[in-house]
Copies of this chain bind each other. A is one copy, B any other.
Amino acid sequence: MNIPQSKNPRVVIIGGGFAGITLAKKLKNKNLQVVLLDKHNYHTFQPLLYQVATGGLEAGSIAYPIRKVIQEFQDFYFRLTSVKEIDTQNRKIISEIGDLHYDYLVIATGSKTNYFGNKEIERNSMSMKTIPQSLNIRSLILENFEQAVLTKDVNDKNSLMNFVLVGGGPTGVELAGALAEMKKAILQKDYPDLDIGKMQINLIQSGDRILNTMSEKASKAAEGFLLGLGVKIWKNVRVTHYDGRTILTNSDITFDTATVIWTAGVQGAVVAGLDAGSLVEKAERIRVNEFSQVAGHSNIFAIGDIALMETGEYPLGHPMMAQPALQQGRLLGENLVRFVKNEPMVPFEYNDKGSMATIGRNKAVVDLPRYHFHGVFAWFVWMFVHLFSLIGFKNKAVVFLNWVYNYIRFDREGRLIIRPYKKRSFTTFTSDEI
């Protein structure tokens, strides 16, 4: 990996998401050699992936070059690679571009889509955890309409215009809202020769309410907003099969659809090498103590979605979202410096700032720890918080400009198929028609 020897002990961080990048910033010029590894050369602002998928924002607006974050940090290195295995015995990681010794290792690999072992669904449906995946969804949505225009088969046409989102968490809800707005504001005008009224957005939730990690008030308000936008919500329905054409469920409800977007679960993006039995548990997360230390390895830490810290208040671990990742990254940045100096570390305590979700134009739900509100004001709060959280002035400005434009013009100009998503052709066309 061509990392020079240093007099400083070496910290290796795997992953440049919210947890990893926050930690990296905290470790600036702290007499540590830091090596940050990521599969991408940019940090992704995941909460806005759904807007990239629906053409509201460009990919570059929610991505930030990692090398720019660490510019001018002393003894600090970024390497673009994927880690294959951790060798705890020899204190090294094994990656695509070589092995690397560590003194301290921080696993901040985040989470990935959980298909609960259903390979058929995994093969045939789309997920939305990365920018390339979001761009694939964008291409597929638009390709479906281009195909629907061409086919004379009514069943094919309806399937191509039927979008099924599995999972009623924030991602599913926000995507459903954005699709409903695309339908009304854009697809109607872009495809005058289609009956856009036939476009369906189905949101399937296995539990008895959507946004079930939020308050009941939030669930109810979000449900009302979605129904108002024409989204069909199916509760207590569990998807069991999807062959690329038809969804089967645990009930007699079925769906004919060309497009399934799966947001029904996440699991830790585990790296091989930790003793699987004892460490990796429940949704493939790594069990850590209150200092984010991995059990049995005082010099290995895990933070963010991948880490499962069981506390009195959170017996199943913290929610897999941005806030715990940011807070754990920040604290570990301080604790690592203490740990290296043999000073006592400070235990992590999660400061729940609440959670929120937007459901399109002027509509959002916000849960603060002791207070819930929704509607236009909630929507402004949502926008402000997300804009403020983006890294970099330029991204903030460009996103703001896009939002203002999209709001005033009821438009999303990112409806571009830059890289076609090659799904097996869903329907065939006669080539003799003139």
Contact = CB atoms under 8 A, between A and B. Distances in A.
Contacts of A132: 418-419
Among A2, A60, A72, A430, max chain B CB count under 10 A is at: A60
A382 to B, nearest CB: 22
Interface string A43-85: 0000000000000001111011101100110000101100000
Contact of A135 (B80, B411, B418): B418
Contacts of A401: 394, 397-398, 401
A202 interface: no
Contacts of A42: 416-418
A282 interface: no
A413 interface: yes
A71 B4 contact: no
Task: List 7 tightest A-B contacts by C-beta distance, closest first.
Answer: A58-B60, A101-B434, A67-B190, A58-B58, A80-B146, A394-B405, A42-B416
A397 B408 CA distance: 14
A361 interface: no
Contacts of A92: 434
Interface in A140-163: 142, 146, 149-152
A71 B189 contact: yes
Contacts of A151: 2
A63 B434 contact: no
Nearest to A63: B416
Given A2-B193, A41-B146, A416-B42, A429 B60 contact: no
B392 A413 contact: yes
A150 B95 CA distance: 13
18 contacts: A1-B429, A2-B151, A2-B433, A40-B416, A58-B60, A65-B190, A65-B416, A68-B413, A79-B149, A80-B146, A80-B417, A97-B429, A99-B431, A99-B433, A135-B418, A393-B405, A394-B409, A394-B413
A94 B149 CA distance: 18
Interface in A393-417: 393-395, 397-398, 401-402, 405, 409, 411, 413-417
A432 interface: yes
B398 A394 contact: no
Interface majority SS on A: helix, strand, loop or mixed? Answer: mixed
Contacts of A190: 65, 67-68, 71
A135 B432 CA distance: 36
Nearest to A142: B41
Interface in A170-194: 189-191, 193
A333 to B, nearest CB: 21
Given A193-B2, A432-B99, A433-B98, A395 B416 contact: no
Contact of A398 (B2, B402, B411, B419): B402
A416 B395 CA distance: 13
A347 to B, nearest CB: 33
Contacts of A19: none
Contacts of A60: 58, 60, 413-414, 416, 418
A286 interface: no
Nearest to A99: B434
A98 B413 contact: no
A301 to B, nearest CB: 20
A413 B395 contact: yes
Interface string A121-139: 0000000000110010000
A434 B405 CA distance: 51
B150 A1 contact: yes
